Amino acid sequence: MPIDTSPSSVAAPRSVRGPEAVSRSRHRTSRQRRRPARHLPSRLLAASVLAVFVVFFVLPVLWLVLAATKTDQQLVHDSPLSIGSWHTLEANWHALTAYQDNAIMLWLRNSALYAVISLAITLCVAVPAGYALAMTEFRGRRALLISTLVVMLMPNATLVVPLFLEINAVGLIGTMWSIILPYSFYPFGVYLTYIYFTTAVPKDLLAAARMDGCSEFGVFRLVALPLATPVIALVGFFSFVANWTNYFLPYVMLPESDQMPVQVGVGNLLSSVPSFNPTVGSLAIERPQLALATLVAITPVLVVFLFAQRFLVSGMLAGATKE
């Protein structure tokens, strides 16, 4: 029997399957159209949460920036988000720098000195310690890890009194080392580097370097340390921020005003505002100048964050996956 190969006979099966395919296509299209509507409440909830966070965190900072451009009367009576003037900002800056013969700059210098020296000691101690804990087995290693974790979880205020007694026993109260040495003890940095070297650095690579005749210190310096740049930046940033923002320890250790870091200095400025301390004398400053001092105190941390954010992201993601 001859087979019909005409175009009509060849296209017949397509015409049979056509309605089913069209129906499936319409069903997929309608399902794709319904999907955004189904996820709309969750998106609205996420947007609402983000808006609350923006209001909670951004508006106070914006108010602080605008407060430095106003006079004290404008700060009290005008709208909270109104803008002052550049001339008023300049006048507030001159009044702030005139307080105790430019004490704000001395406090900034002290903070930078304490934070940078402590940061250098922290990196020289925390990174090798984390590498040793991750790559070597020795008696007491588990106990040392647990001790590091416990100290890391303790609030800093609980350690101030023991530190004061220890520093006083060696006669360092009132010196910069009473701040630098406690700052340099940073167990969180040890734990971060331990986690990084455990999860992100392949041990086979280090073993290959040892087989090539490299010493243990050479393996650490030539192989492990270059690979640890992200976590070093992460530890450095967290250590710098913790050192810069610490208030209670310098307040206890340093009795003299010319030794204070900027956080303690801003606290002293707070007690010199007549609205908060009516008994203040000739050293009074106004609230806009206090707001300007607060902005000056947090600016170095913001600058460090802007320059280090690329390394911070890579450091926080390092070790997230293990091949």
Q: Which tens digits make up the pLDDT trace of 109-124?
A: 999 999 999 999 999 9
Question: In Å, what is the CA distance from 80 to each residue of 12, 21, 74, 260?
Answer: 76, 62, 9, 32
Contact 196, 228 (CB under 8 A): yes
3-state class (DSSP) for residue 107 = helix
Report the pLDDT averaged over residues 223-234. 87
Residue 41: the pLDDT is 79
Q: Tell me the residue type at 100.
A: Q
Report the pLDDT averaged over residues 170-187. 89
Report the pLDDT averaged over residues 201-221. 84
1/142 Cα distance (integer angstroms): 87
E-only strand ranges, 224-318: none
Which uninterrupted H or E stretch holds 50?
helix 7-67
Question: Among candidates 245, 232, 224, 202, which has minimal Cα distance to 312?
Answer: 232
The sign one gets for the Cα dihedral 298, 299, 304, 305 is positive
Q: What percent of the chain has pLDDT over 70?
A: 83
Residue 296: the pLDDT is 92
Q: Which CATH superfamily is domain 102-317 in?
A: MetI-like (1.10.3720.10)
260/22 Cα distance (integer angstroms): 77
First to last CA, the chain: 64
CA angle, corner 153, sides to 150 and 155, nearest 5?
A: 120
Q: What percent of the chain has pLDDT over 90?
A: 21
Question: Among candidates 135, 146, 115, which has minimal Cα distance to 227?
Answer: 135
* Band of pLDDT at residue 11, cut at 50, 70 and 90: very low
22/96 Cα distance (integer angstroms): 75
236/234 Cα distance (integer angstroms): 5
The full length of the chain comes to: 323
Residue 54: the pLDDT is 81
Please check the confidence at residue 20 and state whether its pLDDT lies above 80: no
For the record, the structure tokens of 297 come out as 């105190």
Report the pLDDT averaged over residues 286-295. 91
48/71 Cα distance (integer angstroms): 35
133/111 Cα distance (integer angstroms): 31
* Band of pLDDT at residue 275, cut at 50, 70 and 90: confident
- Spell out the domain ranges in the chain: 7-67, 102-317
Please check the confidence at residue 218 and state whether its pLDDT lies above 50: yes
Q: What is the mean pLDDT of the chain?
A: 82
